[in-house]
Chain A
Amino acid sequence: MIGAFDPVTAARAPATAAASEPPAAPAAAAAPSVRVRRPATPRRPTEDPPVVEWALIGLALAFLGAFILVPASVVVHEALKDGLALWKEAIVDPDAIAAIELTLLVAAISVPLNALFGIAAAWSITRFRYRGKGVLVSLIDLPFGVSPVISGMMAVLLFGAHGWLGPWLLDHGIKIVFAVPGIVLATVFVTFPFVARELIPFMEAQGVEEEEAAHVLGASGWQILAKVTLPNVKWSLLYAIILCNARAMGEFGAVSVVSGHIRGVTNTLPLHVEILYNEYAFRASFAVASLLFVLALVTLVAKKALEWRQRRAIREAARRGAPAGA
């Protein structure tokens, strides 16, 4: 719709300008008035003809519709087609409540852990010079590159009954795999790049000058962190935490391997959806899935709002003439 506005106005603009132009006006005066009436986004020489533009926009929209909008609306439709009462019944089922509680618990443990780790990693990578920094950055990315199932397998191989640490853990009565600690561990592993990945480029762009200034002015390391670094990265951090949280609550693969699928005990929301579905309890399955869908929507809106804020912060930083590394 927005695109349609553009060519039409562009075509009409010169004509309007010519018509309104007083006959006595010199050519030089007319030229700027034509320019002023052009649409806000001028046609650049690199821009493609409208046909190509529309074809591409149409293609992208069709793709979005087919692969995201239709499935999403199917979830909502299936969840609600038999009425709100039945939807609510599926949600308040004790197993569903347990799954919700477990999901919240896992997120409540793993997100703060990853926020702490992410801040520490970003601080160390952007504020110090040392060997092997590149390796560290690659290691942080590892969970993004490894299939979540493998991440779960690693936990089982390490902590499972037949794993490396399994016998020792058994002797001491510590249960990790097929219990809540294992789910937390797998989730932490899968979601740990989010905060560090977001903060590193942001802190790099901000430079160290403000922290150096704080140091020279007499602030201790903790004071610098609390009064200078964290306030400067707060929006970036919040953005990363939201993404991290969404992934922590929605994680399936890794958690599926270590959870053991014990109903009401080690089932998180995504696992619960799968179990219900496999038992042909479609309505209940979709009802629970719709909760995850709501989570996605909330995440999306929060993300958008933060992006907007952050862009403004970056624009301000740019206007301030933030140094790259002087």
Chain B
Amino acid sequence: MSISIRGLSKAFDGHPVLHDVSLEIPEGELVALLGPSGCGKTTLLRIVAGLEVADAGEVHHDGEDFSSRSARERNVGVVFQHYALFRHMTVAENVAFPLKVRRRPRAEIGPRVDELLSLVQLDGLRGRYPHQLSGGQRQRVALARALATRPRILLLDEPFGALDARVRQELRRWLRRLHDDLHVTSVFVTHDQEEAFEVSDRVVLMNAGRIEQVGTPAQVFEEPASPFVMRFLGAVNVFQGHLEGDRAYVNDLVFAAPGAGQARSAHVYVRPHELEIHRAAVKGSFAARVLRLVPLGAAVRVELSAPGFGNAVEVELDVRKSEALALSPGDAVHVSPRRVRVFPAHEAAAQDSLTASGL
């Protein structure tokens, strides 16, 4: 079932949480709502679920306006952040709950519960209580319960948030496979970029109650639509520059800046792995001094000082390249950007304090 969100706004006690949010989610897609905490992503999910009422705007499921329907009429599967399993019911009773309250015949409930429990691989634990299960098991019970009435939309709020790293990895892959089997339109909320990229078909980046960008993981990473997206998806170096026509200048370096408009000053963003280090000056490079080398396994992070370039610059080299350069702290080197993104600096004052890792 497709979801269409049109012009949603929501405020809590006069404090706006969502501003005029619109989003289309086609049938069968797995979408991640990604953003820092407090960006409104959970509120958006709760409005789609019917647990929160929007101040303005509409939610359509398959072209039909669901805005005024209560959560129980929507038949949407929801997996809550802390699973919200009924603590006084066994695993099987939890999974049977939605079928029982909808008064399905007993002959149907039993087989359906068996089917769901084997889907989430918990056949052997049907008599356990939630407090006797591990985090990953609870998560799967919550999922089985949410799927019991065959909803055509599945919503997950930080589904992996409360799990430890290894279980999280496994469950991510498992969820992706499950989605590929069931093809239920799914939306999940996360603040973890890696999680969003690994699991979803498309990523919706949210910031301060607005959608910043919608696209495949590769799209949003390679072609960030805004400085926020650039900064949110990994470390980045920011250089202050000024604009003249469709060119941006940072000291004596020149970069192409098409469509910069009327803005006078610009921020030039470079990812650490898109900077090269040279022993000698080359065209388009600037001078810097090595401060520190941080080994990161397959890569090495080089921290440099470069006056005029925000002082602190971070470069990520792969180990072989760094060995070839044989860098050590104090070395004078030259750094050249391979790829930059230029954004007009509208809120110059607010972003001045940004440094390489200053997020």
Q: Which of B15-23, B70-78, B170-178, B267-275 lies at the interface with chain A?
A: B70-78
Secondary structure at chain B's binding surface: helix, strand, loop or mixed? Answer: loop
With an 8 A cutoff between CB atoms, is A9 at the interface? no
A14 to B98, CA, bound (A): 60
With an 8 A cutoff between CB atoms, is A232 at the interface? yes
Asked if A219 meets B82 with Cβ closer than 8 Å, knowing A210-B87, A231-B88, the reply is: no
With an 8 A cutoff between CB atoms, is B102 at the interface? yes
Asked if A212 meets B87 with Cβ closer than 8 Å, knowing A218-B72, A316-B131, the reply is: no
Within 8 A of A (CB), among B84-136: 84-88, 97-98, 101-102, 130-131
A209-B84 in contact (CB<8A): yes
Q: A residues within 8 A CB of B325?
A: none
With an 8 A cutoff between CB atoms, is B197 at the interface? no
B72-A213 in contact (CB<8A): no
Within 8 A of A (CB), among B58-81: 70-72, 74-78, 80-81
Distance (whole angstroms) from the CB of B93 to the closest CB of chain A: 10
**How many A-B residue contacts, CB cutoff 8 Å?**
79
With an 8 A cutoff between CB atoms, is A323 at the interface? yes
Q: B residues within 8 A CB of A321?
A: 82, 162
B84-A213 in contact (CB<8A): yes
For B, the interface residue count at a CB cutoff of 8 angstroms equals: 31
B71-A216 in contact (CB<8A): yes
With an 8 A cutoff between CB atoms, is B41 at the interface? no
A219-B101 in contact (CB<8A): yes
A217-B149 in contact (CB<8A): yes
A322-B82 in contact (CB<8A): yes
A219 to B51, CA, bound (A): 13
Q: Mark B305-333, 1 if CB is under 8 A from A, else 0.
A: 00000000000000000000000000000
Within 8 A of B (CB), among A183-225: 209-210, 212-220, 223
A210-B84 in contact (CB<8A): yes
B80-A213 in contact (CB<8A): yes
For this complex, 24 residue pairs linking A to B, each with C-beta atoms less than 8 Å apart, are A209-B80, A210-B85, A212-B71, A214-B97, A214-B101, A215-B51, A215-B70, A215-B72, A216-B71, A216-B72, A216-B74, A217-B98, A217-B148, A218-B101, A227-B101, A228-B86, A232-B88, A316-B131, A317-B87, A320-B82, A320-B131, A321-B162, A323-B81, A326-B82
